[in-house]
Amino acid sequence: MTASAPRGTVRAARLAAWLLCALLPAQAALASIPPIVDGRPLPSLAPMLERVTPSVVNVTALGHVQVQNPLLLDPFFRRFFNLPRLPQEEQRQDIGSGVIVDAGRGYILTNNHVIAGADRIVVTLRDGRRLPARLVGTDRASDIAVIQVHATGLRAIRLGDSNRLRVGDFVVAIGNPFGLGQTVTSGIVSALGRSGLGLGGYEDFIQTDASINPGNSGGALVDLAGRLVGINTAILSPQGGNIGIGFAIPINMAREVMEQLIRYGRVRRGVLGITVQNLTPRLARAFGVRGDHGAVITQVVPGSPAARAGLRVGDVVIGVDGSPVRRTRDLRNAVGLLPVGRHVRLTVLRGGRERTVEAVMAAPSHRTIEGRRIDPRLAGARFADVPPDPIGGGPRGVRVVRVAPGSPAWEAGLRDGDVILALNHHTLAGVGDLSAAVGRNPRALVLNLRRGDASLYLVIE
């Protein structure tokens, strides 16, 4: 005798079968959405992204950081427990992005803060290949760096013109957020010319609401034609994640820096020799100037290019090479990208009358010194003055130009690109202050360093 199912169960089974049959055609229709509707193709970013995404790479920077344990800085504690004299370090790994800009020579554009202090750089291509990269040059002031790989089958991105961007233009961000792998997000240009964010020495950012997160740094911001218009660099977020406020370095600024890094290995910024302040309504009335846009010259360095060109204290700079100057940051950003020997035309107001002055950017004075000449514990390192601001101001700090691996300076923890702000609690204005600072405490060297975006203390005994 065969058992029969309850009537309710049979009705439920029949209803489920009917629903399945009814839904199958709908699912089939959804799975095969036609590419053309009413004779028009559906909009999609896919064709553009298929061309562009092979040009965006993942960048992994491997290095070491000091373990900041106060007990290890106490000589008595270290002797009592027979601890090693060398600074305690731990390995770090930073993950970011980069953009191939020259396929033939393997040049990749990225952020300085992605590779700052790295001992080894590894690039992962879109096709999965992992390649060692060489650091070509880096510039902390603009947060731009260039690295190089040697491989076949690279695809370079087309460079756009960031000066033609408008608020409201659609853009796409491509990068490696949180180390997930290549990710694409879209949005619009939310604002242009953002500055005063404390993110770098030269700030003229593109603001976008395209999602940018940690790991996107160094990645591409492209327009709808697939042209590179910016290098993603930072976000504004109280929690460290995307809230719709991201920033990118305009490609026109990045291109100027990149060309110098490739040619010289560093940015050879020229010096104009002036200090300036914003033109305020009160100053405008005092100088008889209409409006309140411009940069007032407050000092002209004797013998500088500005002095030779005839610039005077009280002149109001309102233009550089045809571009308007509304605030001091406009002047600083424009002049700060000019190399040594470049002619620059400044439009100034003097006595209420407009005139044009031409100056030639001059090379800043650079002094270098070998570490062994200062102290045996610094042997293997070479130090140089920090370049002065292009529009005025003297150097502050001492830059570590080169540290030979395995040398006493290397074992002590110094790395290429470090900037020593103070030594033995003595603020450094240049390499000439190093010897005097060492003499303050010959038994130990207490260095206050700036490494990338971080500050730290390093004790060498």
Please tell me the least confidently modeled range out of 238-242, 247-251, 298-302, 374-378: 238-242
**Does the annotation mark 366 as catalytic?**
no
- Residue 393's pLDDT is what? 52
pLDDT digits (tens, 9 = 90+) for 179-192: 788 899 999 999 99
50-148 and 368-460, same CATH topology: no
Would you call 94 a catalytic residue per the annotation? Answer: no
CA nearest to 182, candidates 24, 59, 315: 59
Pick 334 or 251 by higher pLDDT.
251
Q: Tell me 279's DSSP state.
A: P
Confidence of residue 58 (pLDDT cuts 50, 70, 90): very high
Window from 24-28, 141-145, 448-452 with minimum mean pLDDT:
24-28
Beta bridge partners, 100, equal: 108
Please tell me the predicted confidence (pLDDT) of residue 236: 73
Q: Which residue shows structure tokens 């309850």? A: 6
Cβ(292)–Cβ(333) below 8 Å: no
The yes-or-no verdict on residue 208 having pLDDT over 80 is yes
Whether residue 123 has pLDDT greater than 50: yes
Q: Residue 26 — pLDDT band, cuts 50, 70, 90? A: very low
Does position 17 have pLDDT exceeding 50, yes or no? no
Q: 266: closest CA among 363, 392, 407?
A: 363
- C-alpha Rg value of the chain to the nearest Å: 28
Q: Are 250 and 229 in contact (CB under 8 A)?
A: yes
CATH architecture of the domain with range 50-148: Beta Barrel (2.40)
pLDDT class of 3 with cuts at 50, 70, 90: very low
- Highest CATH level, class, for 274-360: mainly beta
The Cα–Cα gap between 378 and 102 comes to 38
Cβ–Cβ under 8 Å, residues 92 and 64: yes
Q: What secondary structure does DSSP assign to 366-433, as a single string? A: --EEEGGGT-GGGTTEEEEEPPPPTTS----SEEEEEE-TTSHHHHHT--TT-EEEEETTEE-SSGGG
Mean pLDDT, the chain, rounded, equals: 82
Given the residues 55, 211, 217, 304, select the one marked as catalytic.
217
> Which listed residue (55, 97, 113, 315) is catalytic?
113
Terminal-residue alpha carbon distance, the chain: 95
Q: In the chain, pLDDT over 90 holds for what percent of residues?
A: 40
> Is residue 418 among the annotated active site residues?
no
Worst-scoring range by mean pLDDT, 27-41, 110-124, 402-416, 427-441?
27-41
Band (pLDDT 50/70/90 cuts) for residue 25 is: very low
Amino acid at 301: V
The domains of the chain are located at 50-148, 158-264, 274-360, 368-460
Return the CATH architecture of domain 368-460. Roll (2.30)
If residue 66 lies in a helix (H) or strand (E), which one and from where to where? strand 56-66
On whether the 158-264 domain is CATH 2.70.70.10, my answer is no
Structure confidence at residue 63 (pLDDT): 80
Take residue 141 and report the two structure tokens written for it: 């002031």
Q: What is the pLDDT of residues 254-302, one digit of tens each?
A: 998 999 999 988 888 888 888 888 888 888 888 777 777 899 998 888 8
Q: What is the predicted pLDDT for the residue at 248?
A: 94
Tokens of 55: 């040009």
Report the distance separating Cα 339 and Cα 324, nearest Å: 20
324: amino acid identity, one letter: P
Q: Is the pLDDT reported for residue 122 higher than 60? A: yes
Catalytic residue among 139, 143, 209, 389: 143
